[in-house]
Amino acid sequence: MVKRILFVCLGNICRSPAAEGIFNQKIKERDSENFFVVDSAGTGSWHVGNLPDRRMRATALSRGIELTSRSRQIEENDLYEFDHILVMDKDNLDAVKSLIKDDMNPVNSKIKLILSYSKNSQLDEVPDPYYGGQDGFEKVLDLLNDAIDELIDNLID
Ligand code: 4NP
């Protein structure tokens, strides 16, 4: 059975496209591409249609990961379409959960902080790198790299 994975952040131009790129690279390395559908979205709409932030693209490319997705805003239907919705921070968590209607209770358990999968980090949120320096983008990739290894182990079991 194909598992459908959605990564979510605020703008869908930094953290969630990076998570999508890392996830895609890792399942390719494991010859497991056919078992997954992967996408990302933002809770906000400011950057809809745009490529990821050029700083995020350059930082990812320096690690061999090309980010080519276009920003889109999450919509209610995504709560049905995807099996796992992994968010970057607690604001994203609140925003995604605000899309849930009273009669959609089973949806709640699909939505998790991505760093809940991390074994090595004490952080529970992936910090927003948008207004910071280069180190913030590197940190995003380090945190996601670690958490996504665990996530895939979990999903492939
Ligand atoms: P992201 O980062 O949520 O990781 O894509 C941001 C991108 C844009 C903005 C904020 C965060 N913004 O304020 O435009």
Give 102-112 pLDDT, tens digit per residue.
777 788 899 99
Residue 15 annotated as catalytic: yes
5: β partners: 38, 84
Ligand 1 pocket member 11 (CB < 6 A): yes
pLDDT beneath 70: ranges in the chain? none
Q: How far is the CA of 157 from the centre of ligand 1 (A)?
A: 33
pLDDT of residue 115: 98
pLDDT of residue 102: 76
Residue 16: φ, ψ to 5°: -70, -35
Domain with residue 69: its CATH number is 3.40.50.2300
pLDDT of residue 139: 98
Domain extent for 80: 3-156
- Amino acid in the structure at residue 120: N
Ligand 1 pocket member 67 (CB < 6 A): no
DSSP states of 14-52 as a string? SHHHHHHHHHHHHHHHTT-GGGEEEEEEESS-TTTTPPP
pLDDT of residue 47: 98
Residues whose CB is less than 8 angstroms from the CB of residue 47 and which lie 6 or more positions away in sequence, other chains included: 11, 12, 13, 71
pLDDT of residue 104: 74
Distance of alpha carbon 111 from alpha carbon 84, whole angstroms? 6
Q: How far is the CA of 46 from the centre of ligand 1 (A)?
A: 9
Full-prediction pTM beyond 0.95? yes
Counting the structural domains of the chain, the total is: 1
